[in-house]
Amino acid sequence: MKKKTLLNLFFVVVSAYCFSQTSFNSKGFNVTKADLELNTFYKDSTAQALVIYEAGESYIDKKSFNVKTKIKRKIKILSKEGFKYATISIYLYNNKDKKETVSKISATSYSIENGNIITSKIEKNRVYEKKHNDKYTIVKFALPQVKEGAIITYSYELNSPFIYKYKSWKFQSDIPKLYSEYKTSIPAIYEYNIKLVGNLKLDTNESNLKKECIDGPFGSSAGCTLTTYIMKDIPPFIEEDFMTAKDNYLARIDYELKAIKHFDGTVNNITKTWKTVDKELKIDNDLGGQLNKGSLVKNLIPLSIKEISNQLIKAKSIYNFVQNNYTWNSNFNIFHEISIKELIKSKTGNVSEINLLLFNLLKKNNINVKPVLLSTRKNGFPTKIYPVISDFNYLIVQTEIEGVKYLLDATDPYLAFGQIPYRCLNGEGRLLDFKNGSEWIPIKASKASIVSLRANLNLKGFSITGDVKSKTTGYESLKLRKEYFSNNVTYLKYANDKYPNLNFTNYNVNVKDKTNTDFNENYKITFEPDQVGDKIYIDPFLIKFFTENPFKLQERTYPIDFGYPRLLSYNLQLKIDERYKIEQLPENIAIQLPNNTGRLRLNIIKKENTVFISFKIELKKSIYTVSNYPYLKEFFSKTISAQNDSMIVVAKK
């Protein structure tokens, strides 16, 4: 009975503690004493700052028909590292004719000194404006008297003449939030495509109709849809390895103006269909107009290439010609900045110019080819529910030869025919076919990339020597080829620097073509294992595929995107000097990801005084869903453990 009473008391204390730790005032903008006294956030002890409350409200002004937005935010500064969140930057969009403006900026910092609440308000002369780029101006200010435990509040109003850019709202940021609310009022004369991005769910999504909220000419009026979106207890968005652009997953609401229904009954469709966009791109001088420049390229390639009868060999030769004679200037754009005629002369151009030249050369030589628009991994996913040309920043080409389709990009001299850069592996692209209509096609690696190492070693005396053979394919070999063919002396030095305990000799690469997807190496190594007394400790993993677990989050809210499937294998044959006996071997490991989408295997066999080790890491998919994260985290934890903790122990007989 006594134990039960103590247990109940324990739960009361814990409950009271948890309640006190979450009693920030997340219901409003007012700063309470509890907001100031609480200096930890129990859900995330590492948080540098915490958004306790934020609210936004957007509506269409009755007189100017501009988009007006009121924003207010309350933030707790939890550490010195969180001081940066007391500097506020407001980005204002502008073009040649119009610009966004900000007004009614108000900001206050709160802190406690000797039990008293001290406030400091920002002065107008502490707010300044600077040009960010051709499209944006930044209005910036820093809250005064900020220290650990302080609360900052700020509010302002935005005025935007860009009705098509109705204010989006980001529920998620890189610090946690307790409460985020966004209210909108959209007149019936405006129809928007509304997109909720990210994997987090709304706690509130309510809409109702308000009649006659905006006036038109001759006594006409229109109603408005009033919507309230609320999200609570929002985890921070923390970037981790193997992801595409942050904006693909950050929880937010975006708007794209679809149509304007004028008071006189006419409708202006802003968002177009792909059928309409195809027609516009076909006659666009910057894109469609560049697809029929055969007369400019007819004498560009050597006669020896023109006379090749095999279409695939000819296509590869044309591709290599462009790769080796024209240089990408690192600019991303689906439209040309210089003409193909100027590119031929300067031999340097952006991604569109280089690949449109390739397009015209293939087409002129009767090879089936079509342009493909895509968005790179860092640029984010293109919108698929309706055409948004500004979402695309890259152009490649697709050719079809004897029923096989190849995606081509001539911007990189190390790419193999049919291989596109890693930066392009980002979901789907839009294949432009002006005759039959454009369509979405997958942009992905055609096959898995492989790293295979085989080591044949001998322990003699206190030294280990032997041969290592390595075969690398696909995207894994692309990295090595770039390093090796750019400077093979530096490449060998890099290997020696990375593995200082190993002595590399007789190094040889038997692949001379820098675009060959197979990169084969062989070399001899010598090293001395660790000795303790009469025992020798041998680390069987000379080269490790991963040195640390790339997955460290408690919870990941976005997919794991490796870009391409991969198979990593390591095989070791180690002969032990007959003067020694084997005392300890690593344990076997076998792990499989759900639905057989990957596996990890470490297999050790001992035959007399020879040890055989087979180690394989196989990831069969390019992309894994969020539900697979804990399995992948454990998978890589075991991988690191297998590589770092495996040890062969031998002792003198």
Q: What confidence score (pLDDT) does residue 562 get?
A: 96
Average pLDDT over residues 446-458: 94
Q: What confidence score (pLDDT) does residue 1 get?
A: 36
Residue 8 has pLDDT above 70, yes or no: no
CA distances from 95 to 67, 355, 391, 401 (A): 16, 30, 18, 45
Residue 511 has pLDDT above 50, yes or no: yes
Instruction: Kindly report, residue by residue over 124-183, the tens digit of the pLDDT.
Output: 889 999 998 888 999 999 999 899 999 999 999 999 999 988 999 999 999 999 999 999
Mean pLDDT rounded to a whole number for the chain: 91
Residue 367 has pLDDT above 80, yes or no: yes
Average pLDDT over residues 32-40: 90
Q: What confidence score (pLDDT) does residue 95 get?
A: 87
User: What's the rounded Cα separation, in Å, for the pair 86 and 78?
Assistant: 11
Average pLDDT over residues 579-597: 94
Q: 215 versus 564: which is more confidently predicted?
A: 564
User: What's the rounded Cα separation, in Å, for the pair 305 and 410?
Assistant: 17
Average pLDDT over residues 61-79: 95
Q: pLDDT tier at 494 (50, 70, 90 boundaries)? A: low
Q: 649 versus 14: which is more confidently predicted?
A: 649
- Percent of the chain at pLDDT > 90 equals 73
Average pLDDT over residues 366-389: 94
Angle at 211 between CA 208 and CA 212, to 5 degrees: 145
Considering the four listed CATH numbers 3.40.50.800, 3.10.620.30, 1.20.1250.20, 3.30.1300.10, the one that applies to the domain covering 274-442 is 3.10.620.30
Q: What confidence score (pLDDT) does residue 149 get?
A: 94
Q: 218 versus 399: which is more confidently predicted?
A: 399
Q: pLDDT tier at 16 (50, 70, 90 boundaries)? A: very low
From the list 169, 180, 138, 255, the residue with the least C-alpha distance to 26 is 180
Q: Which of 69-83, 288-302, 416-430, 621-635 has the lowest mean pLDDT?
A: 288-302
At 160, list the tokens. 């935007």
Q: pLDDT tier at 120 (50, 70, 90 boundaries)? A: very high
- Sorted by where each begins, the domain ranges of the chain are 22-268, 274-442, 449-652
Q: What confidence score (pLDDT) does residue 156 get?
A: 98
Q: pLDDT tier at 61 (50, 70, 90 boundaries)? A: very high
Terminal-to-terminal C-alpha distance of the chain: 64
Instruction: Kindly report, residue by residue over 532-555, the tens digit of the pLDDT.
Output: 888 999 999 988 899 899 999 988
Q: Which CATH architecture has domain 22-268?
A: Sandwich (2.60)
Instruction: Kindly report, residue by residue over 244-268, the tens digit of the pLDDT.
Output: 999 999 999 999 999 999 988 899 9
Average pLDDT over residues 510-532: 89
Residue 84 has pLDDT above 60, yes or no: yes
The answer to whether the CB of 140 falls within 8 A of the CB of 90 is yes
* Residue 324, φ and ψ in degrees, nearest 5: -90, -10
Q: Which pTM was predicted?
A: 0.85
449-652: CATH topology: Jelly Rolls (2.60.120)
Q: pLDDT tier at 17 (50, 70, 90 boundaries)? A: very low
